[in-house]
Amino acid sequence: PHSCEDLRAVGAALEQAALFVRINPPGPGLREEIDEVLAAGAAVVMAPMIESADRAADFVGTVAGRARTIALVESKAGIEDLASIAATPALDEIHIGLNDLSLSLGLTNRWAVLAGDLMRDAGHCVRAAGLAFGFGGIGRAHDTQLPIPSDLIYAEYARTGATRALIARSYRVGGADLAAEITRTRVRLREWQDTPADARETAHAELVRLVAQRDSW
């Protein structure tokens, strides 16, 4: 478990980035937790398990403009109410969590949610509401050792219009230079954004093929 002391330590080390924190799901104690992380310097707050517009409104209303707000949607109920969540006044971003969403949908593995058009449609819905859209997380650029090569996941960011991602722990494996790895990631994401739509669909078809071969997480 992390603490606000950890948050302050991270904030003290930042030179360019905004201090980001993911809080606990909204519930009793929400206001106290948000007040605490804001006092520790958080500039971006993500709330998980946002399953309805009411829950999103409670979260955003509690932050009350004191930080950037991100709703983490990661359940079947949240996806079904996505348009209403995206219409929440003062909400800044929506991020789709793939692991819990895959479980909620009863899918066989965490990548299966990318195999259809669910993420593409979600991206269109969120961006149409004027919000930034992101989903899941990414590995290092050109990493072919992952169950699904990172390049195919990068292609999905371009295909869905996603501009936000969490990054995997693998970015620091073997003492890798984090800044250099992030630069490589940004370059590769831009390359996919500039790739014709038919090439993205070809990559998507390959992702679908590989996902179908996996029956585990």
pLDDT average, residue stretch 131-138: 96
Query: How does residue 215 score in pLDDT terms, banded at 50, 70 and 90?
Result: confident
pLDDT band at 1 (very low <50, low <70, confident <90, very high): confident
9 band by pLDDT with thresholds 50, 70 and 90: very high
Classified as helix, coil or strand, 127 is helix
Tokens of 97: 């969590």
Question: What's the DSSP call for residue 60?
Answer: H
Residue 33 has pLDDT above 70, yes or no: yes
Element (H, E) at 86: helix 82-86
Question: How high is the pLDDT of residue 217?
Answer: 64
Report which of residues 95 and 108 the model is more confident about. 95
Tell me the C-alpha to C-alpha distance, in Å, between residue 191 and each of 119, 194, 195, 199.
20, 5, 6, 12
- The enclosing H or E element of 22 equals strand 20-22
Nearest C-alpha neighbor of 35 from the set 55, 12, 62: 62
**pLDDT higher for 2 or 59?**
59
